[in-house]
Amino acid sequence: MEPRDEPTDSRSRAPLGARVNSSLVMILLALVAALIYRDFARHERVVVARGDLAQDEAATVELFKRISPSVVHVDNVARQLDLNTDNVLEVRQGSGSGFVWDSDGHVVTNFHVIQNASGAWVTLADNTRLEAKLVGFDESKDVAVLKVDCPANKLKPIPLGTSYDLEVGQKVFAIGSPFELDLTLTSGIISSLGREIESVSGRPIQGVIQSDAAINPGNSGGPLLDSAGRLIGVTTAIKSPSGYSVGIGFAVPVDTVQRAVTQLIRTGKVERAGLGVSLLDDHFAARRGIRGVLIQRVTPNSAAAKAGLRGPDEAQQTLGDIIVAIDGHDVLSQNALYRVLDLHEVGDTIRLKVLRDQKTLEVSVTLQALPSTAP
């Protein structure tokens, strides 16, 4: 009987090799993990506790939390007919900022924000979007009042301050929607006071606040605040060669805004004291060497007509009266005339010095109520 070969038991040898290899792999992995952990632990940084905010930081944070619910975003829309469907569509043609004036739903913004609008929409700080109706506007001061239908508990009127007692160097804060980035806060100081800018109507806005708080397209109509969070102005314009903020921004002073808004809410319009005349352009007068304001037309039955002021006489080929002074103050341009008239109320009597046919006359005029753009 031939001897039988013993079968080779490969299973008895394979597990031994596998076990050795597995052990080596496990050891290598453990070494790699230990090296990685040691390297991570070596570079790990300890987070330092923040601690309390600086006093001025805490004040700014508190101011924003308290006042931002009063600030709104305003969309200017135009209604256009879709010729394909005959539906009327609302197309947004611009936007700006504004703020809640009172719990009755009045919202204040710049006139130029809603100029030429067919309608307007107001978005509150909580993103509630409301259709707004136009109450009235004063283009001469770049102020407009809208009204939204909204529960009073959703409206937070902005705290009202004063502008007559401001000082250069005071801290100021602007909240608005620059580039449609709503509820953006910027800060700075009052750089100057008593500036003058030209309104949409061409009439000067006096007593304007200049600040270096960043103001960009979209900020228009938003509030300028003092460090107490009170409204001291309405941001309206910037001076910049690029059209973007370079640290020179302007705001209509709140004392001016309040006078206009009060009248607009009460009557829907602003009445200003005036003469009842039309004036020739200053350039026309300058080209003819005339120093003063040249009357182009006297409105019949106006204050000027009752005082005997005259416009040009075409038959006689004579110029109209030239106003050279009011109450002893020289008037050499239309802006100078407007500045004086803005200091007076309807019913005040002023003394005009006029040139007529190369003769100087003194004329008393009792000022009448006129639309905001008329002299």
Active site residue 321: no
Q: Which of 201, 220, 302, 372 is catalytic?
A: 220
Q: Tell me how far apart the alpha carbons of residues 68 and 100 are, in angstroms, rounded to a whole number.
A: 10
pLDDT given for residue 374 in this prediction = 60
pLDDT given for residue 82 in this prediction = 66
In tens, the pLDDT along 82-136 reads 666 766 667 778 899 999 999 999 999 999 999 999 999 999 999 999 999 999 9
CATH 3.10.150.10: does it fit domain 273-371?
Answer: no
Label residue 281 by pLDDT band (50, 70, 90). confident
pLDDT given for residue 237 in this prediction = 82
Active site residue 112: yes
Q: Coil, helix or strand for 220?
A: coil
**Residue-range domain boundaries for the chain:** 66-154, 171-269, 273-371
Q: Which of 142, 212, 226, 321 is catalytic?
A: 142
Q: Which of 270, 262, 256, 268 minimizes the C-alpha distance to 101? A: 262
pLDDT given for residue 335 in this prediction = 84
Q: Which fold has domain 171-269?
A: Thrombin, subunit H (2.40.10)
Q: Which of 73, 75, 112, 302 is catalytic?
A: 112
Q: Which fold has domain 66-154?
A: Thrombin, subunit H (2.40.10)
Domains 66-154 and 171-269 share a fold: yes
In tens, the pLDDT along 204-226 reads 898 999 999 999 999 999 999 99
Q: Name the average pLDDT for the chain.
A: 88
Q: Coil, helix or strand for 148?
A: strand
What would the two tokens of residue 141 be?
């001061």
CA angle 111, 240, 281 (to 5 degrees): 60
Label residue 1 by pLDDT band (50, 70, 90). very low
Q: Tell me how far apart the alpha carbons of residues 67 and 244 are, in angstroms, rounded to a whole number.
A: 25
Label residue 41 by pLDDT band (50, 70, 90). low
Reported as type and span, the H/E element at residue 213 is none
Q: Tell me how far apart the alpha carbons of residues 123 and 74 are, in angstroms, rounded to a whole number.
A: 6
What would the two tokens of residue 164 be?
């007559």
Strand-pairing partners, residue 119, are 77
Q: What is the DSSP string of 338-369?
A: HHHHTT--TT-EEEEEEEETTEEEEEEEE-EE
Average pLDDT over residues 134-141: 94
Number of helical H runs and strand E runs in the chain: 7, 20
Active site residue 142: yes
